[in-house]
Amino acid sequence: MRVLGVDPGLTRCGIGIVDGVPGRQLDLVGVGVVRTPHDLDHAQRLLRIHDGIEEWVVSHRPDAIAVERVFAQHNLQSVTGTSQAAGIAMMIAARHSIPVALHTPSEVKAAITGSGRADKAQVGAMVARILKLAEPPKPADAADAVGLAICHVWRGAATNRYAEAVERARATPRRSYRSHA
């Protein structure tokens, strides 16, 4: 499975792609960052993020896209731009009929390091170790995106099977059990 991870951000949007299946060595396909300048018009920044993610999707044709789930922080302006970048990634996935999954930062940290409270340096170090890289991808946004892709390879299949089972259960007519006492 080829997974494109997206660590959304308005200034730096991390991108990382891995190939693999659970239980086997994963391979790093590509890693990078889509950057936008602070002084560029907001709409133009979003367009650059769109074009950058679109280019990665078209060139690498992932089977799934894993996006970091945005959570409210203290800085509302920051979370707004991050949410918009995440929405762009999800829209591109939909346009290309690629399944998209959202993973929380603590879920990714737990999958990669074993602790949902790991810091960025620990995540980067473990990404490098898992992929047998000489050093972590830089900047941290790129390492986080690769971590998202790894997390999805490792956990996405189980999550998808669970979602499919729930959907099948909803579609199956329920039997009524009555006591015959």
Global pTM value: 0.85
The predicted structure's pLDDT at residue 123: 96
> Half-sphere exposure (CA, 13 Å, Cβ side) for 69?
12
Binding site annotation covers 167? Answer: no
Instruction: For residue range 47-63, list pLDDT tens digits in order.
Output: 999 999 999 999 999 99
| CATH label, 2-171, candidates 3.30.465.10, 3.30.420.10, 1.10.3720.10, 3.20.20.150 | 3.30.420.10
Cβ contact 134:6 at 8 Å: no
The mean predicted confidence, pLDDT, of the chain is 90
**Residues ≥6 apart with Cβ < 8 Å to 16:** 4, 5, 7, 28, 30, 31, 32, 137, 142, 143, 144, 145, 146, 147, 148, 149
Q: Is 141 annotated as a binding residue?
A: yes
Alpha-carbon gap, residue 140 to 99, rounded angstroms: 25
Q: Any known ligand binding at 27?
A: no
Q: Which two tokens stand for residue 159?
A: 């999550």
pLDDT of 85 higher than 80: yes
- For 141-155, what is each residue's pLDDT tens digit? 999 999 999 999 999
Per-residue pLDDT reduced to its tens digit, 128-144: 999 999 999 999 999 99
CB 31 within 8 A of CB 15: yes
Q: Which residues are catalytic?
A: 7, 68, 141
